[in-house]
Structure 1
Amino acid sequence: MAPSTASTAPLSSICQPLLYPRSIALVGASDDVGKTGGRPLQFLRRLGFKGTIYPINPHRAGVQGEKAWPSLSALPEVPEHVFVLSPTDSVVPTVRECADLGVKLVTILASGFSETGAEGVQREAALRTIAKDSGMRILGPSSLGVVNPGNGLMLTANAAFAEPDMPRGNVFVASHSGSMIGALVSRGKARGVGFAGLVSVGSEVDLGIGEICLATLDDPAIEGYVLFLESLRHGDAIQAFAREAAKRGKPVVAYKLGRSSAAAEMAMTHTGALAGEDDIADAFLKDLGVVRVEMLETLFEVFPLARKIPLARQGGKRVGVVTTTGGGAAMVVDQLGIRDVTVQPVSPETLVKLQAAGIPGSAGRVLDLTLAGTRYEVMKKALDILLEAPEFDLVVAVVGSSARFNPDLAVKPIIDSAGHAKPLLAMLVPDAPQALAQLTQAQIPCFRSPEACADAIASVFARRMPGTQAAVRAPGDPARLAALSEARAYELLDTLQVPHAPAVTFDIATPPATLPFDYPVVAKLCSAQIPHKTEVGGVVLGIQDAQQLSEAFATLRRNLHERAPGMECSEVLVQPMRRGLAEVLVGYRVDADAGPVIMLAAGGIWAEVMRDRSIRLAPVSVQRARDMIGEVKMLQTVSGLRGKPRGDLEALAQAIASLSQLALQPALQVSEAEVNPLMVMPEGQGVMAVDALIMKA
C-alpha cells in the first residue's frame, strides 16, 4: 500500500527509499530460507512487496526460484535501497560500490565494527567517510533492517518476522536493538496492536533514530512513535525530532535502558556527580514532550492515552477511579501513589448526583460499585456522571472477574463511553483477552496490570511541552576545561544577574587593615588552579576581627605551601559571613548528548548525601524554575508550612532561570557552572551565592 495521497507534503529523501523503495537489492541473498541471508527475500515475497527485488549472489544463477544477479553493477537499474547481508569483510567494498552507482540508501546487517577493536573502528570510519563524500545514507551496521506493513516491505533478517499476518497500525517504531523490533511485533500482535513501520538502527554510523523519525514526520501513515533507546546517541537529532513531533501533535513514547545511576565519579562539580546519565536522559525526554515509560508492557498500552491527552492541551492531573472490585482498585490507587499521582475522591456534589441516579455502592477514595457494577446500566450511569464531574481530569474503570466471563456486560459500558472528551481508561483484573481486544479495537487505553496502568498515567502526566531551545551543543573536551577563579566567577554571575555575597580580593601576602563590610567574614584562596578550596585547607570561616583575619591569611599561605605545592595563588577572597533559611545548589552543565541542563538540589554539605534534586533542559523560564523548586523536598521546609518562616522562593526561581540563560550564550564557552551554596534568605530578602565554580572550554 502506497502512502496516502491526502498529504501534500512530499516524502523526504530519507523516508522514500527507507520505507517506500521502488527497487531493492539483497547482497548476499541465500537460497536457504533457514539462513539469515535467505529470510529477507522470503519475507518480502510473503508480505507481497510490489517493488522490484534483485537477489545478488555471485555463486548461484538462482535464489529461491528467482534469478540471481552476480553483482550490483550487473543490474539493469540502480536500486534505491540495498540490504547488505554479506560478511563483515565484504561490507566496505560493497558500500563503496553502492556509492559509486548512486544508490540512495544502504542497510548493513553485519556486526564487527567499532565494538570489536581497532580494525573495526577503521571499517566504521571508512563507512562514515563514504556517506559524507557521496551523500548516500547508511543504516547500521548491526541493523536487522526495516519493515513497512503498509506496502509489504519486510526488509529484515529478524527471524521473529517469520510469523504470518503482520498487523498494520499507525505507530512507527525505531529501536537501537534489532531483536526488539521482532519482540515488539509479536507482543503487539498478541494485543491486536499493529505498526506503521519498524526500523532497527544498529550502530548509527550515519542514520540515527532522531534523523529517521524526523524524516518520517510527514508520512500520513504515521500518527505517533515508539522509541526503544539504549542511549542518547545523536541527542541533537532526537531533540529536533521530538520538538517537531510536539508541534505536529504526534505522540512519542520511549522506553530507555539505563535506569541505574551512572554518575561521573571524577566530575569537577557536584552537578556532574549528582546528575547521573539516566537523570539527564529522563529530563531530556520529558522536557521534549516524550512519554518515558518504565515498563516494556506499557509501550503498547500508553499510546491511545497519549493521543487522548494532547501535549499542547495537557492540564490537570486529577484521577478518578470507579470499580467493581475494591481490591483491584486498591492496587491501582497504590501504584499511582508510588508514582506521586493522587486519586481524587468523589466530591459531595457528584455524590449527590450518583445517589439521585440510584447508583449503589460506596464513594470514598474510589467509587466502588461492588457486583452491581457488572450490570450495564449501573456502570454506564456511573461513568456518565464521573466523566462530567469537574473534580476529575481522567477516569479509570477497574473491572473484576466479569471482564473475563461476561466481557459484553463488563466492557460495553466502557466502550460506549469512549466518545467523551475526558480520557477514560480500563484496567482488567483477570486475564481477559477478549475484553482487552474489544477495548483495543475501540481505541480505549486498557491495561492488564495495575503497574502498567499507573506507569502509563504517570508517564503521560510527566511529559512537558518543549521550551526554548538552547543555542549551544558542544560541552568541550573535559581534559581541556579551565576553571575561573571565584572572583572571576562572580563577575560572570553579575552578567547573568545572579545575586552573590559581596567579595573583595587582596594580595595573599598582605592582609587588609579595613574591609568594606562588617565582620564576621570568611577568607578563601582565590585561584583558577584551585577549584576545590576546602580540599587543600583553602577556607577559613568565622573570622571576627582584623587580627583573626591576619592569622587567617597566614594559615592560608601555610596550607597552600603544604597541601598544594606548585599551585599558583596570589590572591585571597574575603566575604561577609551570611546565613539563610536554606542552602541549595544550582548547577548548569553541557551534557555531551542531551546538551545544556540546569539542576537544583539540596546544597552545602548535603548535596551528594541527600541527592534531592530536580533537572531540566536549559534554558528554563521562571515558571519552570518554580516547578523545579516544587520537586526538591528539602525546600518544603521553607515553603511556609505550619507557620515556619518562608524563604524567598520567587527569587530562587529567578536565579535558576538566570543561570540557565548560559544555554543561550555560546560565546561565553561555559561547559559547567555551579553555585553551591546559594543561600535562600527570608521572603523578600532574595537569594545569595556564597561560592561559585565555573568551567570554560
Structure 2
Amino acid sequence: MTASLAAMPSVCQTLLYPRSIALVGASDDVKKTGGRPLQFLRRSGFAGTIYPINPNRAQVQGEQAWPSLAALPQVPDHVFVLSPTETVIDTVRECARLGVPLVTILASGFSESGAEGVQREAELRAIARNSTLRILGPSSLGVVNPHNGLVLTANAAFAEPDVPRGKVFVASHSGSMIGALVSRGKARGVGFAGLVSVGSEVDLSVGEICAATLDDPAIEGYALFLESLRHGDQLQAFAREAARRGKPVIAYKLGRSSAAAEMATTHTGALAGEDDIADAFLKDLGIVRVDMLETLFEVFPLAQKVPLQSHSMAGKRIGVVTTTGGGAAMVVDQLGLRGITVQPVSDATLAKLKAAQVPGSAGRVLDLTLAGTRYEVMKSVLDIMLEAPEFDMVVAVVGSSARFQPDLAVKPIMDSAGHAKPLVTMLVPDAPQALAALTQAGMPCFRTPESCADAIAAVLARRVPHTPGQTVAAAPGMGAALSEAQAYQLLDRLQVPHAPAATFALDGQPGPLPFDFPVVAKVCSPEIPHKTEVGGVVLGIQNPEQLVQAFATLRANLAARAPGVACNEVLVQPMRKGLSEVLLGYRIDPDAGPIIMLAAGGIWAEVMRDRSIRLAPVSVDTAREMIAEVKLLQTVSGLRGKARGDLEALAQAISDLSQLALQPVHGVLEAEVNPLMVMPEGQGVLAVDALVLQAR
C-alpha cells in the first residue's frame, strides 16, 4: 500500500484495499452464490489473505476452511456474509465483538420483507451504532476493485475474467447493475476504478462510501445508480466536496413517480414530486444527471472536459460539423428536444473556411459531405471551429468512413484533442474500432444521437453548489399551521411584500378599515389551511353593509361545513389584481433538505405543473434563472409590446423567502404564498394568501 493509500479513511481501506477477507458461508460449489466470491478472488489474483468460513467442511474449493470467525488466526479487515438471512444478525454481532472493521451482507429479507425484516434491520443499526463495525448492505452483491484483483462479489457477471480498469468509481443501489455496467463497459472499452453494490444502506450510504474514497488517486470521478434519495445529507456533503476537487459525479436515478404528492398539505408538496426534487437536488450539487443508462458510462470524458464553474445552461453555444447531413440532423433534433439550439457558423468563420478552401455548405450545421472524409479537410475545419468565438463546444458527426476508414475522418478529431474547447464525436455507423480509439484517448464519443444529446444536456444542466441550507428537526406529519395573519408576520420578517390586512372577531362586527373597498373577507385560523374548501372566502365586497353580510356568510358556512373547527377571526384585505399570479413555495424535503419552488399560481398551480425548483437558499441571480424557466411568466416579460411585470421584484421575493433555509430559528417546515401577484414593472409583487407550517 502506498503512503497516499495508507492515509485514506478506514472505510476506503477496508472496502477497496483489505489485507484479509473472511467469507462466511463459503460454498464448495462454484456454481452456487456462496461459492463465487472465493473463485473470483483467486482467479483475479487478489494478493490478500482469504479465509473461507464453513463449519461443515474442512476444505472449500481445495483450501482450508475455518469453522467460525472466532477460530481465525487474525481479525479480518472485511467479512462477506454469504449465509442465509436468519444467520446474519448473530454473525454481525460476532464481527462487532471481534473488532472486525467492515462487514458486507449479501442476504435480503430485511425492511423490504415486512415487520420481521424491519426488526432485523433495526438490530443491525443498533449493532453499528454501538460498535466500531461498519455495515455494507443488506442486499449487497459486494465490491470490486480492478486495480488490486479485489472481486469480492457474488454477482455472476464477474465470472467473466479481466474486469476492465478505469478512472470512475461506481456506487449502485442495485447489485445486478455493477455487473451490467462492467459488461457494457467492456463492449465500449470503458473501465472502472471500483464498483460497490450499496444495497439497503442500513449503515454505509452511497454518499459516505464515495466521500471516503475521494483521496484515492486511482479515482477521478463517480457514477451513481440510484433507486431513490436516501441519506441525502451524506450524498450532499460528498457531492459538494467532489465538485470542489473537480471530480465529476454522474447519476442515473430511477423513480419518476409523484404518487407521494397525493398526501401533501400544500400545493408546493403536491407539485414538487419526488423526482422533481431529486432532479433539482442532483443538478444543484453539480451532479450530471443522465436520462439514459448508456450515457452513464459514456459521459465522463465530457464532464471532465467541461469544468463545472465555466458555464451556464443558457450560455452554451454548440457548433456541429458533419460528413453526413442525416446523422447531424439526428443530433440537432435530439439537442433541440432537450432545449439546446445548435449555433450556425458566423460570417467571420465562414470567411476563414472559404479562405482555407473548405468545401461543403453551412446552414444550421457545417456539412462537409464526402469531402470531410479527407484528413486535411476535417482537420482544417476543426482548427477553425475550435477557435471560433461563437462556439463553446463543437460536435463532429462522422458517417460511414468512421467504420471503414477511421484514419480519414476520425484521426483528425483525435489530433484535435488538445484544444481547450470541448470536442464531442458522434459516430453514425457501428464503428467499434473508432469508438475504442477515441475512448482510449479520453475523448467524448457517442454511439447514438440520443446518448450524445443526453450527455451534452446533462453536463450543461448541472449547477455550481452554493451555501447549503439548514434543516429543522421534525417528525413526519408534525407540522403545525399558522393562521394567515401569523404567516404575514413571518413574511414581514423576511421582507416579502403582502397586501395590507386587518383582522376582526368572527362573532363581532367589522370596524373601520385602513384601506378602501372593494375588499375580500377570509376566515383566519390555523385549523383551516385551505379556506375555499369550507366556504371561508367572500370576494368583491363593495361597502360596509356587504362586509357585515360577509361575516354572517362566513359564520354560516363554517357551521355547515366545518362544525367544531376552531376559528375566531376574519381577515380582511383590499382586492388587488396583478398582471400574473405565481405560487412561491418553500419546504424541507426529508432527503434533499430545504427547497424553493416557483410555479404558475392560482387555479393553474396543479393543472399546468409549470414550475422551477432549486435547493434553498438561492441568490437573486438564481431566482432570475427560475423565473426564465416558468413558461407562464413569458407572458409578462415584455414580449411583442405586452406589459412587463416586475420580475426583478419577483426575483428578490424568491430569494428572500428562500432565506428560511438559513434561519432555522423560525422552525418553518413549509411556507407557501399562493397567489403572489406580479404587478406592473416598478410596482413590485404582492402576496395575497400565505400558508406556513412550523415544527411543533
- Normalising by structure 1, what TM-score? 0.98
Whole-angstrom CA distance in 2 between matches of 1:547 and 1:514: 12
The corresponding residue for 2:86 is 89
The corresponding residue for 1:660 is 658
Please state whether the residue corresponding to 2:595 is helix, strand or coil: strand
Amino acid aligned to 1:281? A
2:598 to 595, 600, 608: 600
Amino acid aligned to 2:217? P
The corresponding residue for 1:78 is 75
Cα deviations by residue, 1:488-543 (Å, 9 ceiling, x for unpaired): 00001101111000001001122324210011110000011111000111001111
Whole-angstrom CA distance in 2 between matches of 1:354 and 1:680: 49
Task: Determine if contact 2:236/2:285 at 8 Å carries over to the other structure.
Answer: yes
Q: By how many angstroms is 1:9 displaced?
A: 8.0
Whole-angstrom CA distance in 1 between matches of 2:380 and 2:257: 46
Q: By how many angstroms is 1:32 displaced?
A: 0.9
The corresponding residue for 1:290 is 287
2:136 to 125, 136, 139: 139
The corresponding residue for 2:683 is 685
The corresponding residue for 2:451 is 452
The corresponding residue for 2:611 is 613
Q: By how many angstroms is 1:194 displaced?
A: 0.6
The corresponding residue for 1:409 is 408
Task: Determine if contact 1:146/1:200 at 8 Å carries over to the other structure.
Answer: yes
The corresponding residue for 2:178 is 181
Amino acid aligned to 1:684? G
Q: By how many angstroms is 1:473 displaced?
A: 5.2
Whole-angstrom CA distance in 2 between matches of 1:126 and 1:507: 54
The corresponding residue for 1:627 is 625
Instruction: Say whether 1:334 aligns with 2:333.
Output: yes
Q: By how many angstroms is 1:263 displaced?
A: 4.6
The corresponding residue for 1:486 is 484
Instruction: Say whether 1:237 aligns with 2:226.
Output: no
Task: Determine if contact 1:470/1:618 at 8 Å carries over to the other structure.
Answer: yes
Cα deviations by residue, 1:602-651 (Å, 9 ceiling, x for unpaired): 00111011100000001111111111001000101111111111111111
Query: Compared with structure 1, are the counterparts of its residues 97 and 263 closer, same or farther at alpha carbon in structure 2 (3 Å cutoff)?
Result: closer
Instruction: Say whether 1:108 aligns with 2:87.
Output: no
The corresponding residue for 2:55 is 58
Query: Compared with structure 1, are the counterparts of its residues 9 and 321 closer, same or farther at alpha carbon in structure 2 (3 Å cutoff)?
Result: farther
Whole-angstrom CA distance in 2 between matches of 1:377 and 1:446: 21
Task: Determine if contact 1:472/1:665 at 8 Å carries over to the other structure.
Answer: no
User: Percent sequence identity over matched residues?
Assistant: 80
Q: After alignment, is 400-409 or 353-362 more displaced?
A: 400-409
Query: Compared with structure 1, are the counterparts of its residues 115 and 272 closer, same or farther at alpha carbon in structure 2 (3 Å cutoff)?
Result: same
Aligned pairs (5 A) from 1:503-542? 503-542=501-540
Instruction: Say whether 1:17 aligns with 2:51.
Output: no
Please state whether the residue corresponding to 1:155 is helix, strand or coil: strand
Aligned pairs (5 A) from 1:266-305? 266-305=263-302
Q: By how many angstroms is 1:199 displaced?
A: 0.2
Whole-angstrom CA distance in 2 between matches of 1:43 and 1:8: 24
Whole-angstrom CA distance in 2 between matches of 1:547 and 1:124: 65
Task: Determine if contact 1:618/1:663 at 8 Å carries over to the other structure.
Answer: yes
Q: By how many angstroms is 1:166 displaced?
A: 1.2
The corresponding residue for 2:342 is 343
Cα deviations by residue, 1:94-151 (Å, 9 ceiling, x for unpaired): 1100110000000000111111112111111111111110121000111000000111
1:130 to 110, 127, 136: 127
Q: By how many angstroms is 1:410 displaced?
A: 1.9
Whole-angstrom CA distance in 1 between matches of 2:33 and 2:559: 68
Please state whether the residue corresponding to 2:86 is helix, strand or coil: helix
Listed as ranges, the gaps of 5+ residues in structure 1 are: none
Instruction: Say whether 1:496 aligns with 2:484.
Output: no
Instruction: Say whether 1:395 aligns with 2:401.
Output: no
Please state whether the residue corresponding to 1:188 is helix, strand or coil: helix
Task: Determine if contact 1:262/1:278 at 8 Å carries over to the other structure.
Answer: no
Amino acid aligned to 1:449? T
The corresponding residue for 1:569 is 567
Cα deviations by residue, 1:582-603 (Å, 9 ceiling, x for unpaired): 1000000111111111000000
Task: Determine if contact 1:439/1:445 at 8 Å carries over to the other structure.
Answer: yes
Whole-angstrom CA distance in 2 between matches of 1:478 and 1:693: 18
Amino acid aligned to 1:374? T
Please state whether the residue corresponding to 1:683 is helix, strand or coil: coil
Whole-angstrom CA distance in 2 between matches of 1:613 and 1:203: 32
Task: Determine if contact 1:521/1:543 at 8 Å carries over to the other structure.
Answer: yes
2:207 to 190, 207, 210: 210
Q: By how many angstroms is 1:8 displaced?
A: 8.2
Q: By how many angstroms is 1:313 displaced?
A: 2.3
Task: Determine if contact 2:671/2:692 at 8 Å carries over to the other structure.
Answer: yes
Amino acid aligned to 1:223? E
Query: Compared with structure 1, are the counterparts of its residues 402 and 649 closer, same or farther at alpha carbon in structure 2 (3 Å cutoff)?
Result: same
Instruction: Say whether 1:28 aligns with 2:22.
Output: no
Amino acid aligned to 2:574? P
Whole-angstrom CA distance in 2 between matches of 1:96 and 1:267: 40
Whole-angstrom CA distance in 2 between matches of 1:14 and 1:643: 62
Whole-angstrom CA distance in 2 between matches of 1:660 and 1:377: 55
Instruction: Say whether 1:255 aligns with 2:246.
Output: no
Amino acid aligned to 1:612? D
Q: By how many angstroms is 1:264 displaced?
A: 1.3
Whole-angstrom CA distance in 1 between matches of 2:334 and 2:602: 34
Task: Determine if contact 1:270/1:608 at 8 Å carries over to the other structure.
Answer: yes
Task: Determine if contact 1:263/1:275 at 8 Å carries over to the other structure.
Answer: no
Whole-angstrom CA distance in 1 between matches of 2:394 and 2:442: 15
Q: After alignment, is 345-354 or 305-314 more displaced?
A: 305-314
Please state whether the residue corresponding to 2:409 is helix, strand or coil: helix
Task: Determine if contact 1:107/1:141 at 8 Å carries over to the other structure.
Answer: yes
Q: By how many angstroms is 1:25 displaced?
A: 0.4
- Normalising by structure 2, what TM-score? 0.98
Please state whether the residue corresponding to 2:10 is helix, strand or coil: coil
Task: Determine if contact 1:600/1:614 at 8 Å carries over to the other structure.
Answer: yes
Amino acid aligned to 1:367? L
Whole-angstrom CA distance in 2 between matches of 1:56 and 1:635: 66
Amino acid aligned to 2:400? S
Q: By how many angstroms is 1:438 displaced?
A: 0.8
Please state whether the residue corresponding to 1:72 is helix, strand or coil: coil
Task: Determine if contact 2:99/2:132 at 8 Å carries over to the other structure.
Answer: no
Amino acid aligned to 1:416? D
Whole-angstrom CA distance in 1 between matches of 2:567 and 2:126: 47
Q: By how many angstroms is 1:453 displaced?
A: 0.4
Aligned pairs (5 A) from 1:404-483? 404-472=403-471, 474=473, 476-483=474-481
Please state whether the residue corresponding to 1:614 is helix, strand or coil: strand
Whole-angstrom CA distance in 1 between matches of 2:259 and 2:167: 35
Query: Compared with structure 1, are the counterparts of its residues 577 and 524 closer, same or farther at alpha carbon in structure 2 (3 Å cutoff)?
Result: same
Deviation above 3 Å: which 4+ runs of structure 1? 260-263
Whole-angstrom CA distance in 1 between matches of 2:190 and 2:511: 78
1:547 to 539, 545, 548: 545
Task: Determine if contact 2:601/2:676 at 8 Å carries over to the other structure.
Answer: yes
Whole-angstrom CA distance in 2 between matches of 1:524 and 1:268: 19
Whole-angstrom CA distance in 1 between matches of 2:461 and 2:506: 51
Cα deviations by residue, 1:185-239 (Å, 9 ceiling, x for unpaired): 0000111111000000111110010110011111111000000000001111100
1:47 to 44, 49, 59: 44
Aligned pairs (5 A) from 1:305-324? 305-315=302-312, 316-324=315-323
Q: After alignment, is 261-270 or 279-288 more displaced?
A: 261-270
